[in-house]
Structure 1
Amino acid sequence: MTAEWDPPTPLFVPTLILLTTATGVVSSLGAPLVPTIAAELGVSLGAAQWTLTASLLAGAVATPLMGRFAVGARRRPVVLAGLMLVVAGTVLAAAAPAMARWSDDLSLGVLIAGRVAQGMALGLAPLAMAAARDVLPAHRIGPVMAALSVGTVAGAGLGYPLTALVAQLGGVSAAFWFGTV
């Protein structure tokens, strides 16, 4: 255990599992929505694809940067800041389709900006694993790492069909509101 951390509370591991599961769901919001985004916003499939690409690029940049900034006692503030960005991005993405009445390009730009903020979610799972490694006793690290990994994959696995179903029933905006929740 490092000196920067207090002993974990009973909710520490469940909170990390919830974090990795939620980030898995949020990271899966893009792919099943691309055709619906193109149809709802009146843009080409190639333009709508940028909503997925932008999120993945942001995650690729954010993950090592967040890891670098989240050293020791700064891990918690970086995780909280990352969560706030993800929530803000999801709200922005949910609001973007309503802007289509003014301009499809504006709506797509706002949606892409929201998806960039959502890309921060990709850096949160490694931070959750690092926090568990730093805080937990050695005999608990392996099982908790497995649970965090399963949480991430389960979140993504649940995210694809649920997002597609919500989008089919309520549109793109509803799918992103689902991600916000």
Structure 2
Amino acid sequence: MNQEVPSPTTTAAAHQGLNSTLQTEDEYEQLKRFQIELEFVQCLSNPWYLHHLAQQQYFNQDAFVRYLDYLQYFRKPEYAKYIIYPHCLHFLTLLQHKSFRDQLAKQDTATFVHERQYYHWQYLRNQDKVVRMEIMPDGSLVEIKNEPASSATPISSQSQGLANTQMAGSDSSILQQTSSAVHAGAIVASPGAGISARNGTL
């Protein structure tokens, strides 16, 4: 982590040669590195893993934050096509925001995000039953069932504990983005070849 983060172009040869025989030791090392980075970036699709990273203070390390920024090369179609769990790209976007990284240290936040992810999988193909959560300006949570926000009713679920916390405006908007984007199916930050909104198993 103390080393300078290299450019993604240093691994381009390995990326392009995934389905061909690697001729040199350097190509093998580049492929190995790509596989490690691919595995790690997909771990970001697990809210509880993000919670663990936050509690272990990784998000407070400048080198780790720069590494998260470096991993955004996976948005490019030539790399994104290898992603199996596309939620990771959406969380990678949110992790660029310090407010979201800070909130992840709270168990209530991790629970909230995990529930939104579960509901996305549950109702992905039945939009009439979609239930999404919105964070109001006062910090309270409301449940919306495919109705205008004005008709929303307060929730009574496991996430109610989070409703009692008052968040700063920026933190609320980041979490609201998480909820809305996951339930709207906007789980891939940018279009990429071979990517679909597939269900994943964490």
So what's the TM-score if we normalise by structure 1?
0.31
Higher strand share: 2
So what's the TM-score if we normalise by structure 2?
0.29
Higher helix share: 1
Please identify the structure whose Cα radius of gyration is greater: 2
